[in-house]
Amino acid sequence: MTEPRIQYVTTGDGISVAYAVTGEGRPLLRVPTLPVSHLQLVWQAEFARDTIVMRGRTYITYDARGFGLSQRDVTDFSLDTLVRDIEAIVDHLGLGQIQVMAAGYGVPIAIAYAAAHPDRVSHLALSAYASAQGMPDEEIDAIMALGEKNWELATETLTHAVLGWANSATAHQVAAVMRASASPETLRTFIGQIRNWRVEDLAPAVAAPTIVVGRSGGPGPSFDTARDLAAAIPNARLAMIEGPLDMSNNQEAATIASFLSDGAVLMPSSIEAPHTTLTILFTDVVDSTSLTERLGDAAFRGRAHQLDDALRSVIREGGGTPVEGKVLGDGVMAVFTSARQAIDTARRCRDAADDVGLQLHLGIHAGDVIRDGNNVYGGAVNLAARIAGHAEPGEILVSDVVRGLARTSAGVAFEDCGEHALKGIADPQRLYAIRDH
């Protein structure tokens, strides 16, 4: 992937800020995960790649003042001051509404910008983990004191404490980028000032649809942090990623990409409609109208009912749940907690259709769904249906999100079919066809 060209803009208070732009499509601005902020090194680092989220978007990254390739002689790290960096970039590029994503200590900055500019932020994606927020002040102070004598040991200790010792390789990479991002003096000043950051009064002013992603099973109080943050932002969604933190795991990125792609129309707080992230398999019988005319209504319906029973049996055996509500077309929709299970089941559904002399269009997408009794609906369901409708007879098409989730576990090849404009979907979608190895 070609590195973007690094450019500079001057903020309203005269600070030179480095930024980079790549890709095409709806603008998405990534707030740096301070204190790791170095455009060139972060772009090269595997742990920081937002490949899934970047697709189909104009992706904007920058170094916060005092860090990385931006002006370094800075001592004011108040939220109001750090928001000026974003304001300068957005104004300079002439952007209208933007999507914003942030993690760690970038989260309060993103919230402050969204609260100050509700007309500018269309969607807000926040990862409320992997920062030192849960560490006692005395532990952080001890690490900073160690930095006066051994900067490398201090950064290694800090990143391992935040990311967990089980993620040693990733923590080592993050520590190296952190050392290049800031001097010991800057980091000490920054950490001293973030204790004065307060987002409690800002969060209720966020108007944009928001998703808050946390992680269970890892170091730090991620669940409590994510839950409290989601509760403070009006109508925010909470999504929890299971298992220990593993930067090679694309589940978080896939969840955010789905949220940003689906438009995320939030339900009013008065309506109880639980949201959850699932993988959706949508199937539809190929050319059912023509088959009805050729075979006769009774004969076709007989085959269709036989296939319906077979598909539902295959889905349950594959760990999925057939959706009992109305499905457009002549097929079955199912939801899974695993993208790999959905792909395996789709292949078996295709074989089941062949056994009764029918063919299926099959599409798979993963994202937030709204549960309503035995039915599910929402933007992710609509996208799964559109993907299925784009598939050739007997072909299984999946979204980029699903490919990211199952790339190393499904045991199949993913053939890149390029980007496609799907009816009713705002952004072009990159689709992949499942191919047996």
Instruction: Give the lowest-confidence range in 142-151, 179-188, 197-206, 348-357.
Output: 142-151
- Identity of the highest mean pLDDT range in 181-195, 223-237, 313-327: 181-195
DSSP of 281-340, one letter per residue?
Answer: EEEEETTHHHHHHHH-HHHHHHHHHHHHHHHHHHHHHTT-EE--S--SSSS-EEEES-HH
Q: For residue 384, what is the enclosing H or E element?
A: helix 379-390
Are the beta carbons of 173 and 48 closer than 8 angstroms?
Answer: no
Specify the 3-state DSSP secondary structure of 367: strand
Name the amino acid, one letter, at 327: V
pLDDT of residue 99: 94
Domains in the chain, CATH or no CATH each = 6-261 (3.40.50.1820), 275-435 (3.30.70.1230)
Q: For residue 370, what is the enclosing H or E element?
A: strand 360-372
Asked whether the predicted pLDDT for residue 275 surpasses 60, the reply is no
Paired tokens of 166: 């089980």
Neighbours of 80 (CB within 10 A): 9
Instruction: Give the lowest-confidence range in 321-325, 358-362, 380-384.
Output: 321-325
Neighbours of 282 (CB within 10 A): 30
Asked whether the predicted pLDDT for residue 56 surpasses 90, the reply is no
For the segment 204-220, the average pLDDT, to the nearest whole number, is 77
pLDDT of residue 15: 96
pLDDT of residue 172: 75
pLDDT of residue 195: 80
pLDDT of residue 132: 42
- Identity of the highest mean pLDDT range in 27-41, 71-85, 200-214, 289-303: 71-85
Q: Which residue has the higher pLDDT, 270 or 24?
A: 24
pLDDT of residue 271: 29
DSSP of 7-61, one letter per residue?
Answer: EEEE-TTS-EEEEEEES-SEEEEE---TT---HHHHHH-GGG--HHHHTTEEEEE
pTM exceeding 0.75: no
Q: Which pLDDT band holds residue 263 (cuts at 50, 70, 90)?
A: very low
> Using one digit for the tens of pLDDT, what is the confidence trace for 186-207?
888 998 888 888 888 899 999 9
pLDDT of residue 194: 85
For the segment 138-156, the average pLDDT, to the nearest whole number, is 72
Neighbouring-strand partners of residue 322: 334
Paired tokens of 64: 């916060």
Asked whether the predicted pLDDT for residue 64 surpasses 60, the reply is yes
List CB contacts of 388: < 8 A, sequence separation 6 or more: 282, 283, 284, 331, 361, 362, 363, 397
